Structure 1
Amino acid sequence: MADLTIRNLTITPLELVSIQRLQGEKIRTGNLVSNVTGRFTSFINATDFSAHKLLPRADHEPHDQRDVSIHLDPFRTVQTNVRAADAAGREILRLTVRAGHRRYETDVPSPSRKSAVMKRIAGDDGDDDHEEELDLTVVYIPNGAFLAIFSSAKLNAWMKQLDDAWPLPFLSIPGTHNSPTCHTALPSVRCQSVGVTEQLQNGVRFLDIRVSVNPDNDTLTLVHSVFPVSLASTKYFGDMLDDVYRFLEANPSEAIFMSLKREGAGRGTDQHLSRYLQSSHVDKRPERWWTEPVIPTLGAARGRIIVVRRFALDDEMAKTCWDGRGYGIDGQNWPDNCEDGTCDGGQIRVQDFYEVTESQNIEKKIDYSRGQLERAAEREFHVPSLAEHDGNADAAAAAAKLPIFINFLSGSNFFNATCWPERIAAKVNPAITDYLCIRHGEDGKGPKQLKVGAASTGIVVTDWVGANGDWDLIRCIVGWNARLQVS
């Protein structure tokens, strides 16, 4: 059995102070009908389903208990001499970690999934008040006996912790591909397990939206390629947008990238789309939109939707908007099916290899995704006098010149059921979670062995997050923003 490796991915020095070794047992969850249904759904859709939880036996005392002192410095990996828990599920390690005067406890493996929020227990002085609260999330990877510790940002408002002066390209931002496709639809069309509102509440800040456009009215319908996102009823862009507005009103510290592209069977043009977007949506809520063709700092973007324009502009708008400089972040000429492409104007670098024609091709997709993470991590940027910076001038000018790294984890092949979106996500998402925990942000540990700068992930665009409450990948991406809090 391998020894436990721990990586502290927070800005807080931690210390492992106690280890208990407990006997584990699997406890059935739900009832027979729900478990059979869950297994059948899991078999059809490839989403992970577990009918059991792994818990310590209530009638057994720890068979090994000892105090230790293993220091876990910020953004460092420590190989301990602590034997990992039996992989067969017969054993659980209960770890106690100290952060300052506070102590936290977690069981490894966690009861049902990789991630768990550490339980806060009384401090060294017995006082358990809630001043300067720190929440910690652990992600355990049994293959390799690796434990990563992240700060548990409140996912509905995780940007609140970051300084206004940071250029958005240096943030680690979770996104979703074909974001509103959570409804009953063809399995090759559906890409998400939950709706846009739940995605935003759980940390997603990049929405990929495809709309069908008609020439004779401004109603935009939500589609994926030529297909509607729901077989039951038509879904409309305006209704989804109302949900986004409500989220921003409740969480004004947040900023949302929205990529817009015209697809579907409508006969309207890109020019129709650009006019409808401006007159029917942006002009009615201008305080909620960022359409200037430069990438803002976080402070300038808070409370707003940043347009990533994957459509051509109406001729008159091209002449008049922003003194003829453009409209939104320019993604009009999107590199097709690329490993690392650059949009015209240089504002976007994208990995969007999507033609996963065979299941064996999924490993190629994973390699491309890791490579884009490594390229995003390599860049470095320093905001002078960050704490006192007013968010304009130098940082704003620098932000406007930086490209955003966008990294699509998605792929599909309509004619091959093993390459439908959910089945690809079932392999890609865990692989990227493991990479973010073990290798991301380490010099020379990526596919290209590049040096690490700010260790941003860039924008990581996913399929099928949130299935059965599993937000591990999103938590890992958000967790990497802790690097920006290092003074």
Structure 2
Amino acid sequence: MVNYKTWLKEIDDNTRISKLSIPGTHNSAACHTALPSVQCQGESVTEQLNHGVRFLDIRAGKQFLKEGDDAKDLQVIHGKFPVKIPFPRLLKDTFDEVYDFLNNNRSETVIVSLKQEGSDDWDNANDEFGNLIWDKYITPNKDKWYLNTDIPKLGDARGKAILFRRFGVNNQDRRNQFGFDAASWHYNTTDDDRGTFVVQDFCEVEKADDIPKKVEYVKDLINKAKDYTKDNDNKLFVNFTSASNFFDHDCWPQQIANALLQSKIEDSFQKGVGIVVLDYVESDDWILAKKLVDTNF
């Protein structure tokens, strides 16, 4: 019987994380009271981690209605919208959930995907967002992070959060110590190979009739990852099951997640399918997270 809270304990230290099947969550902290089209999860980050999730997708931006340094006490964002209303969900609080979990479960590691969203008034030419993350969030907690730019072996990352950096850094010296570089991929891609990682992130579902197409793209990358990782461990496969159309209730995150369950997507899960990023991961007693974890054994 797999203990989903500490499932990585059973896997050899020399295994690269790219060889695993890893349940992830899309907009992981979007589990609070918010606009219905913004919410993506029904349980907290802590509960997700306790049930086997090991990849968190977190988007951060300035606080609305604040200025200067107060605005830079970052909140968690989904696109242009806060993931919690009326009071913001702070990035610090979400990171603290990750730190607490890892402190209590030293055998585990958590891949933290961090992306800049919200307002467009950052001076990114001078790394304003990146420098803020480094100075305010990373440096005071450096012992809690795996910040090398490679795909780590489990033994090197246990007890740490692995930074999957989805924002650009122009300073070369800083970039070389600022985690795994996943700063960009093609928007709405069905399969984008960036050398060290491959992404499926087809997200523009215009109508409910398009949802089966999305499911097929998920399955295609699952099969590609499985075939590749049989003999290789030098690419990280990241497969987003999420998609939406803000203007069509039938294409909101909950409906996409339901369609994925109805498709029996878990029947395609095998060892080494990479990171599968889920909405409403708690659905049907966490079945998709559990099935992904089980393939590793």
Same topology, TM > 0.5? yes
Spell out the pairing of 1:199-210 with structure 2 (5 A cutoff): 199-210=48-59
Read off the aligned partner of 2:108 and give its amino acid letter.
E
Is the alpha carbon distance of 1:370 and 1:381 closer, same or farther for their aligned partners in structure 2, counting shifts above 3 Å?
closer
2:275 equivalent to 1:424: no
**Which of 339, 344, 358 is the aligned partner of 2:190?**
339
Is the alpha carbon distance of 1:211 and 1:269 closer, same or farther for their aligned partners in structure 2, counting shifts above 3 Å?
farther
**C-alpha displacement of 1:268:** 2.7
Spell out the pairing of 1:62-461 with structure 2 (5 A cutoff): 135=1, 153-213=2-62, 216-217=68-69, 218-265=72-119, 267-270=121-124, 271-313=127-169, 315=170, 318-321=171-174, 325=176, 327-343=178-194, 346-380=195-229, 402-431=234-263, 434-437=264-267, 439-441=268-270, 455-461=271-277
Instruction: Deviation per CA, 1:17-55: give whole Å up to 9, x if none.
Output: xxxxxxxxxxxxxxxxxxxxxxxxxxxxxxxxxxxxxxx
Instruction: Give, in whole Å, the separation in 2 of the partners of 1:198 and 1:440.
Output: 22
Contact 2:113–2:163 (8 Å) recurs in 1: yes
**C-alpha displacement of 1:356:** 0.7
Contact 1:211–1:260 (8 Å) recurs in 2: yes
**C-alpha displacement of 1:186:** 1.2
Contact 1:207–1:258 (8 Å) recurs in 2: yes
If you compute each CA radius of gyration, which structure gives the higher value, 1 or 2? 1
Partner of 2:295: 480
Q: Which runs of 5+ in 1 are unaligned?
A: 1-134, 136-152, 383-397, 442-454, 483-487
Helix, strand or coil at the partner of 2:162: strand
Q: Which runs of 5+ in 2 are unaligned?
A: none
Read off the aligned partner of 1:289 and give its amino acid letter.
W
Structure 1 moving runs of 4+ over 6 Å: none
**C-alpha displacement of 1:374:** 0.4
**C-alpha displacement of 1:281:** 1.9
Contact 1:213–1:266 (8 Å) recurs in 2: no
Q: TM-score, normalised by structure 1?
A: 0.57
**C-alpha displacement of 1:326:** 5.8
Helix, strand or coil at the partner of 1:405: strand
Instruction: Give, in whole Å, the separation in 2 of the partners of 1:236 and 1:337.
Output: 28
Helix, strand or coil at the partner of 1:478: helix
Read off the aligned partner of 2:266 and give its amino acid letter.
L
Helix, strand or coil at the partner of 2:205: coil
Larger strand share, 1 or 2? 1
Helix, strand or coil at the partner of 1:198: helix
Instruction: Deviation per CA, 1:385-418: give whole Å up to 9, x if none.
Output: xxxxxxxxxxxxx85xx11000000000001110
Instruction: Deviation per CA, 1:95-147: give whole Å up to 9, x if none.
Output: xxxxxxxxxxxxxxxxxxxxxxxxxxxxxxxxxxxxxxxx2xxxxxxxxxxxx
Instruction: Give, in whole Å, the separation in 1 of the partners of 2:40 and 2:142.
Output: 30
**C-alpha displacement of 1:479:** 0.4
Contact 2:222–2:269 (8 Å) recurs in 1: yes
Q: TM-score, normalised by structure 2?
A: 0.92
**C-alpha displacement of 1:216:** 3.4
Percent of paired sites with the same residue: 37
Read off the aligned partner of 2:89 and give its amino acid letter.
K
Once superposed, what is the RMSD of the aligned Cα atoms?
1.8
Partner of 1:117: none
Q: How many residues align?
A: 290
**C-alpha displacement of 1:213:** 3.4
Larger helix share, 1 or 2? 2
